[in-house]
Amino acid sequence: MDISLSLDQKQILTQQMIQTLNILQMNTLELESYINEIAMENPVIDIVERAPHEEAESFRQLDIERKLEWLESTDGQNIVYYRDDEEQANREAGWQDIRDVGESLEEYLKPQLLGKEYSKEENLILYHIIEELDGDGYYTDDLESAAEFLGVSSHQLEQMLFEVQKLDPAGVGARNLEECLTIQLKRETGDPELIRDTGEIIREYLPLLGKKHLNVIARKMKVSLERVEECCTLICSMNPKPGNNFNDRDHFHYISPDVVVVKFEDYFNVLVNEYQIPAFQVNSYYEQLAKTTEDQEVRDYLKEKIRKTRELADSISYRISTFSRVANLLVEKQKDFFMYGPGHKKPLQLGDLAEELELHISTISRALSNKYLQCSWGIYPMNYFLATAVPAGANDETMTQENIIDRMEEIIAGEDKEKPYSDQKIADLLKERGIEISRRTVSKYRGIRNIPDKCGRKQNI
């Protein structure tokens, strides 16, 4: 009996530990949803109005003020975030805001099918294709798998895809960039030879075009450089992402920051978002019933539910405490970033935080995972503030990869555009600044920032 009880206790502790780790990994919105779901399943949980708390109220006020400030910026996404929150506030107040926040691509495409003679099966396929388009307006599903799911042939599905590709905006429904540009080219009128040559570049030489190797393209096509430049101008007038001009409903939800960093004159205030986490307690009636009922089955049931409620509260308390410690230390370690902005991160790894906080690396990883930090420079994933140390000098000096790439971009910005630097020359110039990296690393870092190579950067002035 004692052994059985010990095993039961171990099982309970294991389950609680798993729950605690899962909750630690949740961001604020996920935790809010999780608590509400648990409350629906557990009758002894009462969701209660959270008592006013100075830090929570400060967080709410800062949240509102920051979004109002963002309205003055040109960041359209932040404006959408603000509007979404404002609409939610209006709904809570019982108001109805009928402001048009924009049409989604799906809402724009489906009405274009009205009045056309399609069978029920064809309409089913067409609607499926439209609903599966990604944010850029591309159809990236595997045709055979999608056809099998719909119970139609691949040929039928492809024919309906071609019908979608006839809709506006031009290029929608394409399966790749080449097809997207080709669809748009077919709608072009004008010089037939220019359209023909442009089509050849789209089919055969897009990678070279991306690197701005216009001379190479001209030589391979046996046409003049001027002709290639004309084709390039036509291609640049096209939209490689036809779905981008439409609102994406999947991204309307406000990225609610899990922590806000407020900069004062000589210190930072780190505010952890607690006000969105639902407050709850054990229902007093059920708590009393668990003590007084003579029905053993009811008593056991209620005691189990009460135990789980208290374990949930403990797990949430641990999450708040641990996350707060991690966030405060992260801000302390990256204070130059919060003071001066992007480009001033210092090398920082999970192990550095774990060692100082005396926590396991996996705990730090869960605390930062899928969470966002808001500061005067914007909203960032918390993992953004981790940066690998890169050896960059003869005296064992280290920098972050971001720092080195920034210095590299400064060098490239100052080069002669008719005679751009080679990767080796960039490495040599970095060495003069005390940053020692190889030519191969320069090439790798160019790729990270999508910086063309020497030939791609060359301009004939």
Q: Which CATH architecture has domain 389-457?
A: Orthogonal Bundle (1.10)
- Cα 66 from Cα 186, distance rounded (Å): 47
Over residues 258-273, mean pLDDT: 86
Residue 399 pLDDT greater than 80, yes or no? no
Would you kindly state where each structural domain of the chain is located, as residue ranges? 9-52+256-383, 105-164, 177-236, 389-457
Residue 268 pLDDT greater than 70, yes or no? yes
List the single range of 242-251, 302-311, 434-443 with lowest mean pLDDT: 242-251
> H-helix or E-strand containing 65?
helix 54-70
Over residues 9-15, mean pLDDT: 75
Query: Residue 69 — pLDDT band, cuts 50, 70, 90?
Result: very low
Torsion, Cα of 22, 26, 29, 34 (10° steps): 0
Over residues 333-345, mean pLDDT: 87
* CA 376 to mean position of chain CA atoms: 19
Over residues 448-454, mean pLDDT: 79
Torsion, Cα of 32, 33, 38, 40 (10° steps): 110
- Which tens digit of pLDDT belongs to each residue from 122-150? 888 898 899 888 888 899 888 888 888 78
Residue 255 pLDDT greater than 90, yes or no? no
Percentage with pLDDT > 90 across the chain:
24
Torsion, Cα of 184, 187, 190, 193 (10° steps): 60
- Cα 79 from Cα 72, distance rounded (Å): 9
List the single range of 265-269, 283-287, 327-331 with lowest mean pLDDT: 265-269
Query: Residue 100 — pLDDT band, cuts 50, 70, 90?
Result: very low
Bridge partners of 348, per DSSP, are 387
What's the whole-model pTM score? 0.53
Arithmetic mean of pLDDT over the chain: 80
- Cα 196 from Cα 231, distance rounded (Å): 9
